[in-house]
Protein backbone atom coordinates (compact mmCIF):
# COMPACT_ATOMS: atom_id res chain seq x y z
CA UNK A 1 0.00 0.00 0.00
CA UNK A 2 2.95 2.36 0.53
CA UNK A 3 3.72 2.48 -3.20
CA UNK A 4 0.01 2.90 -3.89
CA UNK A 5 -0.14 6.25 -2.06
CA UNK A 6 3.29 7.59 -2.98
CA UNK A 7 4.21 9.97 -5.78
CA UNK A 8 0.81 11.09 -7.13
CA UNK A 9 1.24 13.80 -9.75
CA UNK A 10 -0.46 14.78 -12.98
CA UNK A 11 1.03 13.67 -16.27
CA UNK A 12 3.42 16.07 -17.98
CA UNK A 13 1.71 15.50 -21.32
CA UNK A 14 -2.08 15.16 -21.36
CA UNK A 15 -2.18 13.10 -24.52
CA UNK A 16 -3.92 9.82 -25.16
CA UNK A 17 -0.77 7.68 -25.27
CA UNK A 18 0.60 8.95 -21.94
CA UNK A 19 -2.72 8.54 -20.14
CA UNK A 20 -3.26 5.10 -21.66
CA UNK A 21 0.20 3.93 -20.54
CA UNK A 22 -0.43 5.15 -16.99
CA UNK A 23 -3.87 3.58 -16.80
CA UNK A 24 -2.76 0.21 -18.15
CA UNK A 25 0.36 0.09 -15.95
CA UNK A 26 -1.48 1.15 -12.80
CA UNK A 27 -4.41 -1.17 -13.42
CA UNK A 28 -2.03 -4.10 -13.85
CA UNK A 29 -0.07 -3.23 -10.70
CA UNK A 30 -2.90 -2.18 -8.40
CA UNK A 31 -6.05 -4.04 -9.48
CA UNK A 32 -6.45 -5.69 -6.06
CA UNK A 33 -6.07 -2.31 -4.35
CA UNK A 34 -8.72 -0.84 -6.65
CA UNK A 35 -11.12 -3.69 -5.91
CA UNK A 36 -10.59 -3.20 -2.16
CA UNK A 37 -11.21 0.55 -2.45
CA UNK A 38 -14.46 0.03 -4.36
CA UNK A 39 -15.69 -2.60 -1.90
CA UNK A 40 -14.67 -0.50 1.13
CA UNK A 41 -16.40 2.66 -0.13
CA UNK A 42 -19.51 0.67 -0.98
CA UNK A 43 -19.62 -1.06 2.43
CA UNK A 44 -19.01 2.19 4.34
CA UNK A 45 -21.83 3.93 2.53
CA UNK A 46 -24.07 0.89 2.77
CA UNK A 47 -23.74 0.52 6.53
CA UNK A 48 -24.10 4.26 7.07
CA UNK A 49 -27.54 4.12 5.42
CA UNK A 50 -29.88 1.56 7.00
CA UNK A 51 -32.65 2.26 4.48
CA UNK A 52 -30.33 1.51 1.56
CA UNK A 53 -29.23 -1.68 3.29
CA UNK A 54 -32.87 -2.75 3.79
CA UNK A 55 -33.77 -1.96 0.18
CA UNK A 56 -30.83 -3.92 -1.18
CA UNK A 57 -31.65 -6.86 1.09
CA UNK A 58 -35.26 -6.80 -0.15
CA UNK A 59 -34.06 -6.73 -3.77
CA UNK A 60 -31.62 -9.56 -3.09
CA UNK A 61 -34.41 -11.57 -1.44
CA UNK A 62 -36.70 -11.01 -4.42
CA UNK A 63 -34.03 -12.09 -6.89
CA UNK A 64 -33.12 -15.14 -4.79
CA UNK A 65 -36.75 -16.24 -4.46
CA UNK A 66 -37.68 -15.76 -8.11
CA UNK A 67 -34.47 -17.01 -9.72
CA UNK A 68 -33.26 -19.74 -7.30
CA UNK A 69 -36.20 -21.01 -5.28
CA UNK A 70 -38.78 -20.76 -8.09
CA UNK A 71 -36.59 -22.16 -10.86
CA UNK A 72 -38.03 -22.74 -14.29
CA UNK A 73 -41.03 -21.06 -15.81
CA UNK A 74 -43.66 -19.32 -13.71
CA UNK A 75 -47.26 -18.81 -14.76
CA UNK A 76 -48.89 -15.55 -13.66
CA UNK A 77 -52.46 -14.86 -14.83
CA UNK A 78 -52.09 -17.12 -17.84
CA UNK A 79 -48.73 -15.67 -18.87
CA UNK A 80 -45.71 -17.94 -18.84
CA UNK A 81 -42.55 -16.18 -17.61
CA UNK A 82 -39.21 -17.71 -18.58
CA UNK A 83 -35.89 -16.82 -16.89
CA UNK A 84 -35.34 -13.77 -19.10
CA UNK A 85 -38.75 -12.30 -18.29
CA UNK A 86 -38.32 -13.13 -14.60
CA UNK A 87 -34.95 -11.34 -14.53
CA UNK A 88 -36.44 -8.34 -16.34
CA UNK A 89 -39.35 -8.20 -13.90
CA UNK A 90 -37.02 -8.44 -10.90
CA UNK A 91 -34.87 -5.66 -12.36
CA UNK A 92 -37.87 -3.37 -12.89
CA UNK A 93 -39.20 -4.05 -9.39
CA UNK A 94 -35.74 -3.48 -7.86
CA UNK A 95 -35.28 -0.14 -9.62
CA UNK A 96 -38.86 0.87 -8.72
CA UNK A 97 -38.23 0.04 -5.05
CA UNK A 98 -34.95 1.97 -4.99
CA UNK A 99 -36.53 4.99 -6.70
CA UNK A 100 -39.61 4.87 -4.49
CA UNK A 101 -37.49 4.93 -1.32
CA UNK A 102 -35.09 7.56 -2.68
CA UNK A 103 -32.10 5.24 -2.57
CA UNK A 104 -31.48 4.89 -6.31
CA UNK A 105 -29.54 8.14 -6.64
CA UNK A 106 -27.62 7.39 -3.44
CA UNK A 107 -26.58 4.01 -4.85
CA UNK A 108 -25.52 5.59 -8.15
CA UNK A 109 -23.60 8.23 -6.22
CA UNK A 110 -21.75 5.61 -4.18
CA UNK A 111 -20.77 3.67 -7.28
CA UNK A 112 -19.73 6.85 -9.10
CA UNK A 113 -17.65 8.07 -6.15
CA UNK A 114 -15.81 4.75 -5.85
CA UNK A 115 -15.01 4.65 -9.56
CA UNK A 116 -14.00 8.33 -9.52
CA UNK A 117 -11.45 7.62 -6.79
CA UNK A 118 -10.04 4.70 -8.75
CA UNK A 119 -10.05 6.68 -12.01
CA UNK A 120 -8.17 9.59 -10.46
CA UNK A 121 -5.53 7.25 -9.08
CA UNK A 122 -5.21 5.51 -12.44
CA UNK A 123 -4.45 8.84 -14.12
CA UNK A 124 -2.40 10.63 -11.45
CA UNK A 125 -0.08 7.77 -10.40
CA UNK A 126 2.98 7.73 -12.69
CA UNK A 127 3.49 4.39 -14.35
CA UNK A 128 5.91 2.23 -12.43
CA UNK A 129 7.27 0.26 -15.43
CA UNK A 130 9.22 2.45 -17.84
pLDDT per residue as tens digits for the range 83-107: 888 889 889 999 999 999 988 888 8
* pLDDT for residue 118: 85
Q: Is pLDDT larger for residue 6 or for residue 24?
A: 24
CA nearest neighbour of 33 among 112, 125, 97, 99? 125
Tell me phi and psi for residue 100, to 5 degrees. Answer: -60, -35
* pLDDT for residue 69: 85
* pLDDT for residue 130: 45
Q: Is pLDDT larger for residue 86 or for residue 26?
A: 86
pLDDT per residue as tens digits for the range 62-80: 999 988 888 878 888 888 8
Instruction: Say if pTM beats, i.e. exceeds, 0.95.
Output: no
Rg (CA), the chain: 21
Amino acid sequence: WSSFFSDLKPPKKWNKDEIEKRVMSNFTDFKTNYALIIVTVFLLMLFSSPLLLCCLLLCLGLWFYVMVIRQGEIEIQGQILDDTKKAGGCGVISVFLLVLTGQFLKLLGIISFAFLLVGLHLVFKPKSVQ
